[in-house]
Structure 1
Amino acid sequence: MALKVWSEMRKIDVTPYCEERDGMTYLNWAKCIDLLHENGAGKVYWIPIPDEKTGSSLRMVEKEFTDSKGNTNRCYETRILVVIDDNKYEMQSPVMNGSNPVKDNSMSQQRVWNSMCRSFVKCVAIHTGLGFNLWLKEEMQPFSNVIPAEDEKATRAQISTIKNLCKKHKLSADRWLESNNTTWDALTAVNAGNMLNAIKKKYGDD
């Protein structure tokens, strides 16, 4: 038995197995492997490819970046080898905190692991079609530097990020909404962007 062709794998609905974090949709890596086996794959696994210089699973550029609060970060990435039956693929991905780069003060083994897991699921989507529609939807989002229309509604990702940041920094999002005479349902993309910028400017770690 062989893995189904790309067009058939793409039709599989993976949304029942997904969860949302930081305004983004994730397919669990273990369930991804399970679905591949259910659809004909005999061998599926992935392993980290260590950095040649350090032997670490975490790769980084030499240059450091420092924000206005003195927090530093670099461009961090992970690389993995994905094996599906007789096929081998390599995938390199950034280490991210939702849609934001990870800074040194919040780097952890968990973030490195999450990067590799997400890299695996994306690699599978590219080469087999499984879960590809999730990535198509994500990659088709408007670029963040596009100026939104005055009455354009805030995206689900913006709202989720605001709530997470407010919870992290013990801020009252509801009080901010009240002071701006708005609600979550009526929140515009412009106001959401202003709020996110204000939080990030003040705390500088997201």
Structure 2
Amino acid sequence: MESFEKKVWKTLSAINVNEKVEKKNGLTYLSWAWAWGVLMENFPQSVYVVNESQTQPDGSTMVSVTLTVKENDNEASRYMWLPVMDYKNQAIKSPNTVDINKAVMRCLTKAISMFGLGFYIYAGEDLPEEEKQAQKANNDEQSQKRTSLIKSVEESAKKGTQAMGELWKSLSTEDVKLIGEQEKQRIYVIAKAVDNAAAH
């Protein structure tokens, strides 16, 4: 039986967050409201605690949150921290409450990512693992289908252009696109050669 932590990770890491991402000054941000909403949809008993912020010797501030994902008697916690930063991603000296609030919510989003949501973005990937696997499977399937279609058209071409033309008419628009114009022309040459051989 898989652990609760693994269940949470599998659930959240499979979600595509690309449309909810913003990029600023080279860093990627995920909307905290959307991230929290997704967490609530899947694990509505989850809670977070904003820990006391820590003022550093240089006057900058570090915030942190502890996020606990819950489902009935199961729970798992993650602690995450983040410096209060300006729009240039530099630490702010003596930040005000608005700066601190923004940092806390960004920190919460980061904590949620540690459970899987949007983690693939921080890892420099374009798609979550499950979607990549599904995409690969779809590509493999399309490739096999294309090979099969080309073989069928080639077989009809061995009987001449008329037979090839009849088969071509029976194909769907999607099948025609899948075969491609280049392959169509290549096979047509075969059919034409058959016609020429039959005429002599």
Paired amino acid for 1:110: V
Q: Do the aligned partners of 2:60 and 2:93 also contact (CA within 8 Å) in 1?
A: no
* Mapping 1:30-69, distance limit 5 Å: 30-38=33-41, 40-50=42-52, 58-61=53-56, 63-64=57-58
* Mapping 1:50-89, distance limit 5 Å: 50=52, 58-61=53-56, 63-64=57-58, 74-85=59-70, 86-89=75-78
Secondary structure at 1:101 match in 2: coil
Q: TM-score, normalised by structure 2?
A: 0.50
Paired amino acid for 1:14: V
Report the Cα offset of residue 5 of structure 1. Answer: 4.0
Matched, 1:18 2:21: yes
Q: Do the aligned partners of 2:61 and 2:93 also contact (CA within 8 Å) in 1?
A: no
Find the aligned partners of 1:137 and 1:96 in 2 and give their Cα distance. 22
1:23-43 CA-to-partner distances (Å, cap 9, x unmatched) read: 4221111211111233x3131
Find the aligned partners of 1:23 and 1:13 in 2 and give their Cα distance. 20
Paired amino acid for 2:46: V
Judged with a 3 Å threshold, the aligned counterparts in structure 2 of structure 1 residues 110 and 21 are, in CA distance, closer, same or farther, namely farther
Judged with a 3 Å threshold, the aligned counterparts in structure 2 of structure 1 residues 130 and 88 are, in CA distance, closer, same or farther, namely same
Q: TM-score, normalised by structure 1?
A: 0.49
Find the aligned partners of 1:9 and 1:123 in 2 and give their Cα distance. 12
Find the aligned partners of 1:133 and 1:110 in 2 and give their Cα distance. 29
Paired amino acid for 1:93: L
Q: Alignment length, in residue pairs?
A: 116
Look up the match of 1:119.
Answer: 107
Computing the radius of gyration from Cα coordinates, the structure with the larger value is 2
Q: Do the aligned partners of 1:9 and 1:129 also contact (CA within 8 Å) in 2?
A: yes
Q: RCO greater where, 1 or 2, for CA within 8 Å and sep 6 or more?
A: 1
Q: Do the aligned partners of 1:76 and 1:94 also contact (CA within 8 Å) in 2?
A: yes
Q: Do the aligned partners of 1:10 and 1:133 also contact (CA within 8 Å) in 2?
A: yes
Report the Cα offset of residue 8 of structure 1. Answer: 4.3
Paired amino acid for 1:29: W
Judged with a 3 Å threshold, the aligned counterparts in structure 2 of structure 1 residues 7 and 88 are, in CA distance, closer, same or farther, namely closer
Unaligned regions of 5+ residues in structure 2, if any? 126-200
1:55-91 CA-to-partner distances (Å, cap 9, x unmatched) read: xxx3112x33xxxxxxxxx242012121211223322
| Higher helix proportion (structure 1 or 2) | 2
Q: Do the aligned partners of 1:46 and 1:80 also contact (CA within 8 Å) in 2?
A: yes
Unaligned regions of 5+ residues in structure 1, if any? 51-57, 65-73, 139-206
Report the Cα offset of residue 137 of structure 1. Answer: 2.5
